[in-house]
């Protein structure tokens, strides 16, 4: 059973990674929308980015009404891919409400009385709600052909709450020999998580606790006890 669970978890991580790589959402791409940037040398101003086929147009925005100023002195244009001249790198920041699907394939449980610390790999899934900050760096790197290729580096930081369901192995060892059978129990997981995103790669650290959802919950030595886990996520918004 443990081998099957581990194989399933590994497959789930691969699928989540593949999905996050193929999804071109605003969380990973410098897409159309409002950002904060110093591109106009006016401090941390609000700007609007409009992606066109060959160019990236950046407009200065009225911070109160969020009206886009289309005047020439309030607009900057960058090439989408190749520039013939060197361009200064610029940073754009965006804050948003974050909804993710999380899987926490690895949980570290501290020792309980005479039972040693455990490293569990049970199947689980959770919904994560948090506040996210994304940082994008737009720059143009010189190529051997003396041209400048666009590069966009992305960093994301998020902190929030999660809740979901998972499995746990129930046997005499984790109940102080109060049961005689072994089975897979259903647990309700909840807690806090911090998530870091670098380009398409997302990973996080979770601090939570589990509640067993059957008649043996008072016998389970981990009932309501904290654990630390490694989380992988797929953005849903």
**φ and ψ at 202, to 5 degrees?**
-125, 130
Is position 128 within any domain?
yes
Compare 1 and 77 and report the one with higher pLDDT: 77
Residue 209 has pLDDT above 90, yes or no: yes
Widest distance between CA atoms in the chain: 78
Residue 53 DSSP code: S
3-state helix/strand/coil string of 189-209: EEEEEEEEEECCEEEEEEEEE
The verdict on residue 139 lying in a domain is: yes
- 17 in any annotated domain: no
| DSSP conformation class of 224 | T
Identify whether 66 is part of a domain.
no
Q: What predicted TM-score, i.e. pTM, was given to this entire model?
A: 0.77
- Higher-confidence residue of 158 and 10: namely 158
Confidence grade of residue 28 (pLDDT, cut at 50, 70, 90): low
Specify the residue for token string 């950002």: 35
d(CA 24, CA 159): 22
- What per-residue confidence (pLDDT) applies to 94? 92
Whether residue 43 is contained in a domain is answered as: no
At residue 237, the pLDDT reads: 66
pLDDT value of residue 130: 95
State mean pLDDT over 166-182.
94
Residue range(s) defining the domain that contains residue 144: 84-235
Backbone φ, ψ for residue 220 (5° rounding):
-75, 125
Binned at pLDDT 50, 70 and 90, residue 107 comes out as very high
Above 90 in pLDDT, residue 174? yes
pLDDT by residue (tens digit) across 180-192? 999 999 999 999 9
pLDDT digits (tens, 9 = 90+) for 35-93: 999 888 767 889 999 998 889 999 999 777 778 877 767 888 999 888 888 888 899 99
Cα–Cα dist 183/213, whole Å: 13
- In the block, tokens 């090439």 appear at 79
Which residue in 27, 45, 26 sits closest to 36, CA to CA? 45
Instruction: Report yes or no on 58 lying in a domain.
Output: no
Burial class (CB in 10 A: 0-12, 13-18, 19+), 181: exposed
Give the confidence band of 9 by pLDDT, cuts at 50, 70, 90. Answer: very low
Q: Which residue has the tokens 């100023």?
A: 69
In a domain, 9, yes or no: no
Average pLDDT over residues 3-7: 46
- Domain membership of residue 212 (yes or no) is yes
Alpha-carbon distance 23 to 30, whole Å? 13
- Whether 178 has a pLDDT exceeding 80, the answer reads yes
Instruction: Count how many domains the chain has.
Output: 1
């Amino acid at each position: 059973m443990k081998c099957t669970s581990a194989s399933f978890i590994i497959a789930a991580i691969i699928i989540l990674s593949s999905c996050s790589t193929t999804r071109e959402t605003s969380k990973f791409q410098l897409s159309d929308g409002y950002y904060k940037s110093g591109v106009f040398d006016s401090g941390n101003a609000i700007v609007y980015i409009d992606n066109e086929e060959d160019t990236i147009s950046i407009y200065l925005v009225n911070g109160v009404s969020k009206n886009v100023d289309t005047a020439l002195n309030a607009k900057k244009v960058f090439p989408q891919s190749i520039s013939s001249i060197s361009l200064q790198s610029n940073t754009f920041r965006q804050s948003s409400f974050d909804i993710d699907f999380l899987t926490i394939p690895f949980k570290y449980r501290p020792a309980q009385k005479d039972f040693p610390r455990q490293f569990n790999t049970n199947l689980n899934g959770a919904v994560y709600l948090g506040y996210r900050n994304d940082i994008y760096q737009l720059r143009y790197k010189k190529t051997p052909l003396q041209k400048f290729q666009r590069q966009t580096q992305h960093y994301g930081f998020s902190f929030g709450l999660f809740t979901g369901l998972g499995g746990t192995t129930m046997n005499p060892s984790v109940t102080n020999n109060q049961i005689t059978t072994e089975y897979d129990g259903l647990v309700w997981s909840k807690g806090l998580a911090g998530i870091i995103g670098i380009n398409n790669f997302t990973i996080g650290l979770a601090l939570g606790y589990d509640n067993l959802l059957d008649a043996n919950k008072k016998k389970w030595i981990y009932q309501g006890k904290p654990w630390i886990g490694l989380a992988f996520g797929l953005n849903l918004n």
